[in-house]
Each structure stands twice: as C-alpha cells, then as structure tokens.
Chains A and B, each alone.
Chain A
Amino acid sequence: TQLLEQSPQFLSIQEGENLTVYCNSSSVFSSLQWYRQEPGEGPVLLVTVVTGGEVKKLKRLTFQFGDARKDSSLHITAAQPGDTGLYLCAGVGGSSNTGKLIFGQGTTLQVKP
C-alpha cells in the first residue's frame, strides 16, 4: 500500500515568515501534485512535478520533487494571510490510466497579519 506522510500537520506563523511543508513516502510515484483547499471548497491543483529533482516555482511558492521520486516539499517565502489554507500533496498511484491519487494527511497553514 502506498502512503504519503505529510508534515507538519499544523503551522501557525506570522506574515513575512518562510515555511516548508514536507511530503514523504517509501514508495516511488510517477508524479506528485500539490493542492490547496480553502474552507467550504474542494481542493484546487497548484502544481504537478514529474521528473526526479524537478523544481517548480509559482510566485512565492517553490515545489521540489525528490531525486528518487519518493518525496516532495513546498516552500513558501514571505508568507501572506492569503496563503492561509489546507495544503495537500497527492501521488499518482496505480496505473496512469486510472489516475488514482494517494493523498497525504494535509497541512493546515494559518498566516497571521
């Protein structure tokens, strides 16, 4: 069974601080996604990383896929209150045809002004 361990589960920081969220597994994934979810809504895709060692940037967010494709990280620089939300990593499991995703437990981020 493929599992994704996400840490930390909760993070409360002040505006302007930096933070990193980790997503780890003992399994290899063909690709890994990061979603962001706001209260009362469904998750929305932020990025997909496919190649081992890949780094993608989305404004102040930097996503990295581990060389062995077993782990990933999300780094936010100078966090803002608008970054508050639940961040979920998800690995593509099973055959690429089914598109089944394995989700981590999520990281709840609160950025205080």
Chain B
Amino acid sequence: NAGVTQTPKFQVLKTGQSMTLQCAQDMNHNSMYWYRQDPGMGLRLIYYSASEGTTDKGEVPNGYNVSRLNKREFSLRLESAAPSQTSVYFCASRLQDRVSHEQYFGPGTRLTVT
C-alpha cells in the first residue's frame, strides 16, 4: 500500500514552460486535493475533486488546471509557469466520510520557476 504518490519530487522550470504534476492514490478514496505550501502561509487549496468526474476551484486556482483521470489519479497542470508558482505542491486524498475528514498527503513536489 503506497498511499499517495507524487511525481516528480523536484522540478525546475523556466518562465513560460508548461508541466504536469502527477498524483495517484491506492486507498480507493473518493476525494482528491491539490495544495501549495509557501513559507508562513500554511497550505492553500488550489483545486479539488470531491468525487470521480468532478473538479472545483479552491482558494488559489489561477494559473492552474486539473484533470481527474480516474478514481486513482488527479493531475495538476501549469500551462505557462511563472516565478510566483515556485512552491511545494502537495496532493492529498480523503475517503469522503462525514466523520473523519482526515486527508492523506503525498510527499510533495518542490517546484522552482526561474
């Protein structure tokens, strides 16, 4: 049971380049989330998918797109990277029960945009 996996672990992009961050979970969870973490700002929600086939904007969606490919996989795409998108990106998943709300996080992708 790998839990939540993310690829790549590190990436350096030049301004204007595009890339896709991959996330997969093997816990049969319904909901998946993408966050970014910047110093002193906690984690901020970029996009989420409450269930397979649906996606919704979070707090900071501008400059990003997402795809819920199937129940296991949720990808985050940067179409034209900007230095302001330098951050650590975390994917998370949740079973979607009304009691726990526990989210399971991947190890993160550290992205630098120059």
Dominant SS among interface residues on chain A: loop
**C-beta contact mask, A70-98 vs B, less than 8 Å → 1, else 0?**
00000000000000000010101000111
Selected contact of B107 from candidates A41, A50, A99, A106, CB within 8 Å: A41
Selected contact of A41 from candidates B102, B103, B108, CB within 8 Å: B108
A-B contact count (CB 8 A): 66
Within 8 Å of chain B (Cβ to Cβ): is A57?
A: no
- Total interface residues on A, CB under 8 Å, equals 26
**Chain A residues closer than 8 Å to B56, beta-carbon distance:** 98
Within 8 Å of chain A (Cβ to Cβ): is B92?
A: yes
Which chain B residues have a beta carbon within 8 Å of chain A's beta carbons?
4, 31, 33, 35, 40-45, 48, 50, 56, 58, 90, 92, 94, 96, 98-103, 105-108
Other CB < 8 Å A-B pairs besides A40-B107, A96-B98, A101-B33, 14 of them? A33-B101, A42-B106, A42-B107, A43-B43, A45-B102, A88-B42, A88-B43, A97-B98, A98-B48, A99-B50, A101-B103, A103-B42, A105-B42, A106-B42
